[in-house]
Amino acid sequence: MNAQPAAVAVPEPPLAVLLELTHRCPLACPYCSNPLQLVGLRQELDTAQWQRVLEQAAELGVLQAHFSGGEPTLRKDLADLLRHARAHGLYCNLITSGVGVTRERLQELQRAGLDHLQLSLQDSRADGADRIAGYAGAHARKLALARWCGELELPLTLNAVIHRHNAERVGEMIELAVELGAGRLEVAHTQYYGWGLRNRAALLPTRAQFDAASAAVAAARERLRGRLTIDYVTPDYYARRPKPCMGGWGRRFVNITPEGKVLPCHAAETIDGLQFDSVLERGLGEIWRDSDAFNRYRGTAWMPDPCRGCEHRERDWGGCRCQALALSGRADTLDPVCEKSPDHAGLRALAERESQAPAPEFVYRRPGR
């Protein structure tokens, strides 16, 4: 007999808020997970509006503010926003490509209240990294920024996105993280949303590449224990069980887009039929607690069989709704990553087929496309 689904309770405050200050970015990465339709400069929230968001986040009980994009350092008011966040007791993390950030700007941001920096890493080698970024010289600029973090004693995390064109160099990327003095490295296989989904056939690693990368991570974790923390995000298309996307829909995380829409995850706008409230019209706390979009897939009551009777239902929270939509055509069905899904076998066959075929050319994310 299936267990009864739990009712949606008043949610705990989110741990973190991701502030997408802008969709503007100097890079053209083919795995970009931002929406296909980007928000323009004129639609971005202004300084005062973002400051109100930070105030409301602190009132709600949020602990961490993650400043992201696009490229958040393109915002001239970033230091002002950091100061405002710190004044309201928020831990401040910057997620950046590192391109265009000078040592002087980094010092300014640190003085304003920056606690931690996350730097994207496209490859261990300049030619591969610059090819993925679509930006000549990007890799050298990233390495310089990472070294400045060490000089300024600013905690650093490197985020390495893995795909078929760099999977063999996971070991080199781990060694580079050690050399640069990073405290944490996230080795994350590409997640196929937005532009990444468009380039899936060019990016999917083979099963052999995935296995080799996983072995490299496991060996490095043992060897570097206590020296470098390594997080590992596996490619969903080879998994047997779904991951708890964002810790579960509407449970621990809130995403705010450049124009102020409040989302349970960065890809949620792909789901038709959901209305996402704006911080320009409702308070952040009210949206978090009461909006239909957050409550639609929060908890377990929404789940179909066999999810609602599954022993893992409060571990993976049904997996990813956006991925279920992209691969099965419905957001309210099983995530095809789950081996119990009727679409699971087809997903595995797709992964094997696309990863074994010759990789097509990248479709870069350029302005105006």
- The predicted structure's pLDDT at residue 39: 86
Any binding-site annotation on 32? yes
Q: What share of the chain is helix, strand, coil (3-state, %, to 5)?
A: 40, 15, 45
Strand partners, 230: 185
Polymer length in residues for the chain? 369
CA distance 92 to 75: 16
The pLDDT tens digits of the residues spanning 287-328 come to 999 999 999 999 999 999 999 999 999 999 999 999 999 999
Any binding-site annotation on 29? yes
Q: What tokens appear for 274 in the block?
A: 């959901």
Strand partners, 66: 18, 93
Residues 6+ apart with CB under 8 A from 109: 73, 78, 79, 82, 94
Any binding-site annotation on 322? no
DSSP, residue by residue, 152-218:
TT--EEEEEEE-TTTGGGHHHHHHHHHHHT-SEEEEEEPP-SHHHHHTHHHHPPPHHHHHHHHHHHH
Domain extents in the chain: 13-368
Domain 13-368: CATH superfamily is Aldolase class I (3.20.20.70)
C-alpha dist (Å) from residue 42 to 28, 39, 46: 21, 8, 9
Residues 6+ apart with CB under 8 A from 231: 184, 185, 186, 187, 188
The pLDDT tens digits of the residues spanning 250-287 come to 999 999 999 999 999 989 999 988 999 999 999 999 99
Q: Tell me if 26 sits within 8 A of 11, measured CB to CB.
A: no
CA distance 55 to 88: 7
Q: Tell me if 244 sits within 8 A of 316, measured CB to CB.
A: yes
- The predicted structure's pLDDT at residue 3: 42
Low-confidence ranges of the chain (pLDDT < 50): 1-7, 368-369
Strand partners, 254: 17
Q: Tell me if 160 sits within 8 A of 187, measured CB to CB.
A: yes
